[in-house]
Amino acid sequence: MEKLTRREFIAKGAVGLPACLLLPHNLFAARLNSGIFKNDAPEKLWKWSKEAMFYKKSGQNKVICLTCPNMCVLSPGDRSVCRSRVNINGTLYSLAYGNPCTVHIDPVEKKPLFHFRPGSRVFSIAATGCNFRCLNCQNWEISQARPEDVRFHDMFPEKVVEKTIASQSMAIAYTYSEAITYYEYMVDTAMIAKRKNISNFLISNGYIRQKPLKYLCQFIDAANINLKSYSEKIYQKLNRGRLNPVLETLKTLHHENVHFEITTLIVPGYNDDDQMLKKMCDWILNNLGDSHPLHFLRFFPQYKLNRLKPTPVAILDRFRKTAMKMGINYSYLGNVPGHEGNHTFCHACQKLIVERDGYKISQFNIKNSRCIFCKTKIPGIWS
Amino acid sequence: MTKKIIWLVIATGIASIATQLVVIREFLTLFSGNEFVISITLFNWLFLGGCGTLLSKILLNFIKPSYFLASFLSFVLCIIGTIQIPVFRLLHNTIFIMGSSTGFYQVFVFTFLVSAPYCILLGYLLPFSLALARKNEKQLPSSIIYIADNFGDALGGAVFSFFLVWFFSPVQAIFLSSLPLLFLAFYINKEVCRKQETRNKREDTRTRKKGIELVFCIVTGIFSLCLMTACLFLEPHTLAINKIKPEFYRETPYARVAVYKSSQGHAFFQNSVPLFDTKNLIQAEKTVHYPLSQIENPESILLISAVSGVFLEIEKYPFKRVDYVEIDPQVSRALFDYSFLKPLDKMNVIQKDARSFLEHSNIRYDAIIMNLSDPDTFQVNRFFTREFFDVVSQHLTDKGVFSFSITGFNNYPSTFMVKKISSLYATLETCFENILVLPGSEMFFMARESSDFNLDIPALLRKKDVKTKYIENYFQADLIRERVSRLYDFIDKDSHQNRDFSPVLIKISFNEWFEKFQTSPLIFRIIISGIFLIYLFFIKGVQSLLFFTGFFAMAAQIMIIFAYQIFFGYIYLKIGFMITLFLAGLLFGAYFGEKTDKNLAKAWMIKADICLVFLMAGFILLLKFLPYVLKEELFGLAAFCFGFFCGFEFPCGAKIKQETLSKITGLFAADLVGASFGVLIFSLILLPSLGLVRAGVVLVVMKVLGLMRFLIWKN
């Protein structure tokens, strides 16, 4: 058992006392809401509900969801942590199927995916729900909402693909909220898209179990996994999640040869620690190699974490340099316009090979996936 | 000795009111300037004070009051008062997740628990002092203690508002205001021991006991002083963020302003909220170029507050005049001194309230750019109302643009966000012909009378040869167009307008606060209404009338504070002033109430009650129909008058109740508990749901019902 520090003891005691006084009210949402939602499922199947792909039945009509490591055990009428799965009469359904609440066209750089057809456009969709509770969520309006609570588009997988083609986008990104929570919808859409030569991007926190992930890898062309920190404690404190399953996801994507990039948001006072960064880079180099691009994003006050100042650019700059010095070939900065950390430099000859002015590509010096100066192969999909 | 007890009560009043005002400001800062925090803090203060008073009803039967105990409790009060500010900060940093905002219930429970020791002790001391004074003078009227307490409160309020707030930090202010109490607590015990010694030379045991008490008192006094002094030194350390102390720190009459050094420059904080840092390119570009790109030749620009880097962007235009209005001189000082803003040649810095500045100015501007935080407080909401937009529209040139931003959304607007945008849109529409809303994590509203807006801002900037880093490369007009059209699908153009006295945005923000933390205001409302009704069920007659008077008076006080905020802004400065006037009213009211004939006390109470009802009715009518006659002095007068009639009723009630200690304690408690509910129910239930005027009407109805209940009981 982990020992409590004195500070934690005071904090937990002070939180526990008032919480006991006012329970069962959800006073300390970030701490207590990570559980399932009892009796919150609709009485009848809602709209386009679809049976979940990965779950097992248990006694007394209970089900255990096997999509993500939360492994919610749901009695009939219960709703999962991610809010989009419900147990109706002993069957697990996804409520997020066919009803994305957000549909936009974005530049691929916004995902961010810097090594996948730079300058192209991506049809981006999201349904509600998330298996984390990040205090700094950028999309809390949908990630912390139920499918029934938002305005949605009726858009079955076929229609998503049609719209993608019509908008001249080269890929579909499952993004904004947490794609794993609408897993079935993503898989069905990705399958059809793949047949029509449209790429599929998984933009995710990587909190998924191995079996569904391996199945998904058949259809996914690229991924951006948000490695929120390299600390179990910070994962618990800021995200209500766990680090290890995310690391497992990264390993699996690597072994399955899916192109992926890693994003880490640097939150001042939490993961802006050089030692932590070095450990993280060490792990990446040892387990994934040096070719997967690593993005450091600048934090801006968001959602509930809005009493922190933005990350100083100097720290991001230092992190990028440290990562590259340790051997990660491609490291970028996000949310810092005009910084050289937005461009791609060949890891062999150090020459500028992709110059990005925001979402525009102003120089592109890669031919046949190789640097035009030194002919070194540049990891990624370039054409 | 009675006189000395009265002096002790006055000193307690001085220390307690200064402490209360500092605590309100501290909580306002810790919880980021939300005015609902004022209501919660006042509720805690009054309710817990009432609990302390009720506690004395029981404890005084077991613990006999003595001068030694009075001294000891006063020392404890001084210590808790001074130590609590650093303790609040440390506990806040320990309990809550660093950098995170807090939900309503978290704020409520936290402030309630941490305020409890001081408030309960303070509430206990009032009847305790009365009981102690009556040891010497059995017939001493309770109103003398009540008046002394009010006198101390009023004096403390005045000292704080006119002196301490201007020159001292929170802990220093409490320390200084506690010194008279500390001295008196020591002096009283010393005096008693001296007299006891001369009187009882034969009674050795008692003398020895008194000697021990004196020594104990000296030790406690010195210990208190040392501890309080230590707090003064500890205070700056409690302001550190991530172990970094602020380079610039001012407790201004408007807010707490702090600048922290970071590895790339500085970060600017106001009331614990990080507003920006020195590398603020994206916000600066959006703020300046979105509106100025739309104007052919922007020559005169008005900035209502500023964000880091805006002057560098404005410099890219051939402007002739820039007026920068900032009410707080310390804010503009910090912004210029720490390079958040680079001074311009043709720039006027105007240290005034922007609304008042515009109301009294006849200059017309090509662009009015407002950089304020979100309209989720009354302080800021007054810049997002139809009344203010009207003023702005009169100060724009024909093709002039008015622009402002609020926190937006990245990809999908929440229900409350949609309501906010819709209300702002509907409000703007009443004053401007053309409106453009640009979605994003920061959402920009632009409005003008003539000419449409052009969404291709990068193209407009290229035409003007204005170079930008963010807009040129990240603003993709075609994609933004698609997002704008999706946003417009959400907007309900028939939504309620945001008005000065019907602040729709405040109501939305209040509910959004709960929504963000997955809680509901309903439970709180049910609990509070339940306790209110239960308490009401158990009190009768004079107690019930005083309960309603306390309720009404504090609700009226809150109403004045918020109305004042709407008219003149910046409650942080004037809250002490308004509370002081109210307390002065209480003092004079109590003085005149004490002069009434015992047999006519009931009749006087009823008359005072009727006066309160008419006073409120008159105030509402003025707010509704003749707001322009409400000058600053009139608000002060109203605060004083409400306090006067409220204070007047207590001695009358005490006379009816025959002056027994137990009954008087019940009256003190009814008054305090009524006042606490007045604050809470008015500001957190009535005001957000009904707006200022209608909430005032409900108050009148409640007061009339309370009076009727009293009259029925009487018969």
Question: Which tops the pLDDT comparison, A13 or A364?
Answer: A364
Which positions in chain B touch A10 (Cβ < 8 Å)? 94-95
pLDDT at A9: 53
Residue B50 pLDDT > 60:
yes
Hey, are the CB atoms on B281 and A310 less than 8 Å from each other? no
Residue A108 pLDDT > 60:
yes
Residue A1 pLDDT > 70:
no
| CB-based contacts of A15, cutoff 8 Å, min separation 6 | A28, A31, B95
Q: Nearest residue on chain B to A121, judged by CA atoms? A: B479
Residue B414 pLDDT > 90:
yes
Backbone φ and ψ for A103, nearest 5 degrees, come out as -135, 115
User: How much is the mean pLDDT over chain B?
Assistant: 88
Backbone φ and ψ for A344, nearest 5 degrees, come out as -105, 130
A35 DSSP 8-state letter: S
**Rounded average pLDDT over B511-519:** 88
- Tell me how far apart the alpha carbons of residues A72 and A63 are, in angstroms, rounded to a whole number: 8
B113, B413, B486: residue with CB nearest A141:
B413
Which position has the token pair 């021991």? B193
Distance from CA of B527 to the nearest CA of A (A): 11
- B400: which 2 tokens? 């002039």
**Rounded average pLDDT over B667-686:** 87
Burial class (CB in 10 A: 0-12, 13-18, 19+), B660: exposed
Which positions in chain B touch A32 (Cβ < 8 Å)? none
Hey, are the CB atoms on A358 and B474 less than 8 Å from each other? yes
Hey, are the CB atoms on B269 and A309 less than 8 Å from each other? yes
Question: Which tops the pLDDT comparison, B536 or B203?
Answer: B536
Longest C-alpha distance within chain B, in Å? 102
Half-sphere exposure in the Cβ direction for A6 (13 Å, CA): 0
Please write the tens of the pLDDT for every residue from B591-622. Answer: 898 888 888 888 998 999 999 999 999 999 99
Which positions in chain B touch A28 (Cβ < 8 Å)? 103, 106
Which positions in chain A touch B421 (Cβ < 8 Å)? none
Listing DSSP states for A231-258 in one string gives -HHHIIIIISS-HHHHHHHHHHHHHTT-
Backbone φ and ψ for A340, nearest 5 degrees, come out as -65, -20
Residue A86 pLDDT > 90:
yes
Backbone φ and ψ for B368, nearest 5 degrees, come out as -120, 115
Q: How confident is the model at residue A152 (pLDDT cuts 50, 70, 90)?
A: confident
**Percentage of chain B exceeding pLDDT 70:** 95
Please write the tens of the pLDDT for every residue from A242-271. Answer: 999 999 999 999 999 999 999 999 999 999
Residue A22 pLDDT > 50:
no
Hey, are the CB atoms on A18 and B110 less than 8 Å from each other? yes
- Tell me how far apart the alpha carbons of residues A180 and A215 are, in angstroms, rounded to a whole number: 12
User: Letter for the amino acid at A239?
Assistant: N
| CB-based contacts of A258, cutoff 8 Å, min separation 6 | A217, A220, A221, A222, A223
Which positions in chain A touch B521 (Cβ < 8 Å)? none
Comparing C-alpha atoms, which of B533, B453, B539, B448 is closest to residue B488? B453
A230 DSSP 8-state letter: S
C-alpha distances in angstroms, A41 versus A49, A94, B376, B538, B618?
A: 12, 11, 33, 43, 53
Hey, are the CB atoms on B517 and A26 less than 8 Å from each other? yes
Distance from CA of B517 to the nearest CA of A (A): 6
Q: Is residue B386 classed as helix, strand or coil in its secondary structure? A: helix
Chain A contact probe: residue of B31, B32, B97 with most A CBs at under 10 A: B97
**Rounded average pLDDT over B365-377:** 93
Return the minimum-mean-pLDDT range out of A184-193, B271-280, B317-326.
B271-280
Which positions in chain A touch B97 (Cβ < 8 Å)? 30, 135, 237-238, 305
Residue A11 pLDDT > 70:
no
Task: Give the count of Cβ contacts less than 8 A between chain A and B.
Answer: 156
Q: Which residues lie across from A106 on neighbouring strands?
A: A122
User: Letter for the amino acid at B582?
Assistant: F
pLDDT at A12: 53
Q: Does residue B277 contact residue B339 with C-beta atoms inside 8 Å?
A: no
Burial class (CB in 10 A: 0-12, 13-18, 19+), B199: exposed
Q: Nearest residue on chain B to A123, judged by CA atoms? A: B479
Cα first-last separation, chain A: 52
Q: Which of A1-10, A47-56, A198-207, B465-474 has the highest mean pLDDT?
A: A198-207
Q: How confident is the model at residue B376 (pLDDT cuts 50, 70, 90)?
A: confident
A267, A307, A360: residue with CB nearest B473:
A360
Chain A contact probe: residue of B412, B443, B516, B528 with most A CBs at under 10 A: B412
Return the minimum-mean-pLDDT range out of A33-37, A217-221, A373-377, B221-225.
A33-37
Return the minimum-mean-pLDDT range out of A110-124, B72-86, B520-534.
B520-534
Please write the tens of the pLDDT for every residue from B80-100. Answer: 999 999 999 999 989 999 889
**Rounded average pLDDT over B178-192:** 83
Residue A27 pLDDT > 70:
no
pLDDT at B571: 61
pLDDT at A20: 45
Question: Which tops the pLDDT comparison, B162 or B705?
Answer: B705
Q: Which of A21-30, A176-185, B242-251, B657-666 has the highest mean pLDDT?
A: A176-185
pLDDT at B206: 67
| CB-based contacts of B33, cutoff 8 Å, min separation 6 | B255, B270, B271, B273, B373, B377, B379
Torsion angle, CA of A35/A36/A38/A43, rounded to 10 degrees? Answer: 160
Comparing C-alpha atoms, which of B520, B543, B555 is closest to residue B664? B543
Hey, are the CB atoms on A359 and B474 less than 8 Å from each other? yes
pLDDT at A43: 83
Residue B450 pLDDT > 90:
no
- Tell me how far apart the alpha carbons of residues B417 and B441 are, in angstroms, rounded to a whole number: 12
Hey, are the CB atoms on B412 and A300 less than 8 Å from each other? no
Q: What is the Cα B100 distance to its own chain's centre?
A: 21
Comparing C-alpha atoms, which of A158, A153, A221, A162 is closest to residue A188? A158
Residue B196 pLDDT > 70:
no
Hey, are the CB atoms on A139 and B482 less than 8 Å from each other? no
**Rounded average pLDDT over A137-147:** 94
Q: Can you give the pTM of this predicted structure?
A: 0.86
Residues belonging to chain A = 383
Listed in order, strand segments (DSSP E) in B198-255 are 248-251
- Tell me how far apart the alpha carbons of residues A353 and B689 are, in angstroms, rounded to a whole number: 59
Q: How confident is the model at residue B205 (pLDDT cuts 50, 70, 90)?
A: low
Which positions in chain A touch B483 (Cβ < 8 Å)? 104
Query: What ipTM does the predicted assembly reach?
Result: 0.86
pLDDT at A23: 41
A305 DSSP 8-state letter: B
- Tell me how far apart the alpha carbons of residues A53 and A335 are, in angstroms, rounded to a whole number: 37
- Tell me how far apart the alpha carbons of residues B388 and B404 are, in angstroms, rounded to a whole number: 13
